[in-house]
Amino acid sequence: MRRRLLAGLAVALVPMAWQVRTPAAAGGRSCESLAALTIPNVTVHAASVVAGPLTPPGAQTALTLPAFCRVEATARPSSDSEVRFEVWIPPVEAWNGKFQGVGNGGYQGSISYTAMAAALRRGYATASTDTGHTGDDMVFGQGHPEKIIDYGWRAIHVMTDTAKLMVRNAQGRLADKSYFVGCSAGGHQAMSEVQRFPDDYDGVVAGAPAHNRIRQAFGFMWSWTATHTPDGKPILTQPKLALVTKAVVEACDGLDGLKDGLITDPRTCTFDPAKLACSGADDASCLTPPQVDAIRKVYDGARNPRTGEQIYTGWARGSEGFGEPASQSWRQYLLEPGEPSRIGLFRYFLFHDPNWDVHTLDYDRDLAYAEERLPHLPAVSRDLSAFKRRGSKLLMYGGWMDPVVPPQDTAAYYEAVAKALGGYDKTRDFFRLFMAPGMGHCAGGPGPNQFDALTALEQWVEKGVAPDTLLASHSSNGKVDRTRPLCAYPQVARYKGAGSIDDASNFACVAPAPVARPVRTSS
């Protein structure tokens, strides 16, 4: 997240804070004494003041941080659990009185030190967990159903519970407010907390939530199969993906009334890759018939072959290849892996067969089986009423060019929650979604993609000022070259008709023009 604003201030407040602190006056206790806490199922390995740069395990560079109390611990909520986590607590003089849990990425089992550092610099006490395993390959779930539960929801909740207690013991009082901030898997964790433990957090930032965890994996199987030959060779290349994105933007940029290189809502775009079909031999400027077919299938998304039901959305038009890095195209998760991303869910979580072959996947029976067997994995309940009733706030965001978590799924979830609650008006008072045109996965992309969601959420939770817009910026070579408001869904930013299209002040949030949603564009 973006927390540059307050970083300097927090650093300035900190010098020698631990030395001048008087534990008795603060009502708390020394950092070192936290090691003696006797919390059920929790082992505290170390508690000590860090007063200089910290190089996290596995990192190449040191984090520059204000002084803080570092607590390292392991929770064992089940006999097969091994949930490592850390809690970082500022000295009382530098503490903003609040707690922030931070999320993870992918299936990665590692503590999110960079996110913790950002929270600490803002004055937060903060915590992160490795979610109960190490590594990213999902083998940890083989024969360890409890570890899958830890990954699915339990590690974050246990971390939250325990960290709050540690903060209380260090500071002499509970935190005034608690926030959770995460993107991707962190967005999934955010939604799991909102649904399963609505009392854990007062404010939650859920970026690009990968919370439709099972169906997204079916989507990965579908899209990988669509983009590879039966013997596993990729049908598409990076230049072809970039070619398609360029053509998509050319075709659909103007649909929103402004030619600015951005598609306000790719769901309005019906671009057919057959428009790029080679008329003769294959070359860099065209698509072969198998390439056209592959792209159509990825747009269409996974379907139940028996009922025709869409079981997971396709990937968005415009997300094919909008940047050079593999993460800014279908390359990282769809094209380049020699096997489908998340195949481990089927091998190690579901079928317990390390040799399971994606070509044997049954999109009908296997989906039903997965949803019955792994109910702890997704967080897609539409009933957020307990979180709403408590007065907590949820700020969700997504990028309309996201090549990892298809943005249509994020928008569809918001629409479904609004429908369950009786409309957008009954949803906006506690849950708002901000979709960013031209933004990739959590950040990046040709559209404005830098914004401070946490400050907006703090204003909402602590002052009752709900965010109607988030001010987003885009930079090239470290220089801001465009600003644009992100609007509370379903509103969109519309150009007022005068002034620079790179200046947010020349845009207003309005209801989207009614556009017939495209149905399938290929069979």
Active site residues: 184, 402, 441
Q: Report if residue 265 touches Ca ion, rule: CB under 5 A.
A: no
Place of tokens 């970039």: 242
- Residue 315 · residue 299 · CB < 8 Å: yes
By CB under 5 A, the count of residues binding Ca ion is: 5
Q: Please classify residue 209 by burial: count the beta carbons closer than 10 Å to its beta carbon, then call 0-12 exposed, 13-18 middle and 19+ buried.
A: buried
Residues contacting 495, CB < 8 A, separation 6+: 257, 258, 260, 501, 506, 507
Please give the residues from 447 up to 506 whose contact with Ca ion meets the rule CB under 5 A.
none
Q: Which stretch binds Ca ion (CB under 5 A): 7-15, 220-228, 262-270, 278-286?
A: 262-270
In this structure, is the dihedral angle defined by the CA atoms of residues 101, 106, 107 and 110, taken in order, positive or negative? negative
Phi, psi of 155 (to 5 degrees): -60, -45
Of all residues in the shown chain, the one whose CB is closest to Ca ion is: 253
Cβ proximity to Ca ion, 178 vs 483, nearer residue: 483
Cα 149 to Cα 261: distance, rounded to the nearest angstrom: 43
- Residue 16 · residue 91 · CB < 8 Å: no
The least distance separating Ca ion from the CB of residue 318, rounded to whole angstroms, comes to 11
Cα 350 to Cα 365: distance, rounded to the nearest angstrom: 13
Q: Please classify residue 170 by burial: count the beta carbons closer than 10 Å to its beta carbon, then call 0-12 exposed, 13-18 middle and 19+ buried.
A: buried
The least distance separating Ca ion from the CB of residue 263, rounded to whole angstroms, comes to 6
The least distance separating Ca ion from the CB of residue 264, rounded to whole angstroms, comes to 6
Cβ proximity to Ca ion, 138 vs 492, nearer residue: 492
Q: Report if residue 253 touches Ca ion, rule: CB under 5 A.
A: yes
For residue 247, which of 321, 327, 335 has the smallest C-alpha distance? 321
Cβ proximity to Ca ion, 249 vs 395, nearer residue: 249
The least distance separating Ca ion from the CB of residue 261, rounded to whole angstroms, comes to 7
Cβ proximity to Ca ion, 393 vs 484, nearer residue: 484
Give bridge partners of residue 179 from the DSSP assignment.
100, 203
Q: Report if residue 258 touches Ca ion, rule: CB under 5 A.
A: yes
- Member of 130, 200, 256, 265 binding Ca ion (CB under 5 A): 256
The least distance separating Ca ion from the CB of residue 239, rounded to whole angstroms, comes to 24
Cβ proximity to Ca ion, 253 vs 293, nearer residue: 253
Q: Which stretch binds Ca ion (CB under 5 A): 103-111, 255-263, 340-348, 475-483?
A: 255-263
Cβ proximity to Ca ion, 130 vs 256, nearer residue: 256
- Residue 400 · residue 211 · CB < 8 Å: no
The least distance separating Ca ion from the CB of residue 437, rounded to whole angstroms, comes to 7
3-state secondary structure 442-475: CCCCCCCCECCHHHHHHHHHHHCCCCCEEEEEEE
Please give the residues from 278 up to 337 whose contact with Ca ion meets the rule CB under 5 A.
none
Q: Which stretch binds Ca ion (CB under 5 A): 183-191, 208-216, 248-256, 382-390?
A: 248-256
Give bridge partners of residue 369 from the DSSP assignment.
none
Cα 87 to Cα 75: distance, rounded to the nearest angstrom: 12
Q: Which stretch binds Ca ion (CB under 5 A): 227-235, 260-268, 289-297, 403-411?
A: 260-268
The least distance separating Ca ion from the CB of residue 248, rounded to whole angstroms, comes to 12
Please give the residues from 95 up to 154 whose contact with Ca ion meets the rule CB under 5 A.
none
- Residue 301 · residue 313 · CB < 8 Å: yes
- Residue 120 · residue 51 · CB < 8 Å: no
Q: Which stretch binds Ca ion (CB under 5 A): 77-85, 215-223, 259-267, 420-428?
A: 259-267
Cβ proximity to Ca ion, 251 vs 274, nearer residue: 251
Residues of the shown chain interacting with Ca ion in the complex, contacts defined by CB under 5 A: 253, 256, 258, 260, 262
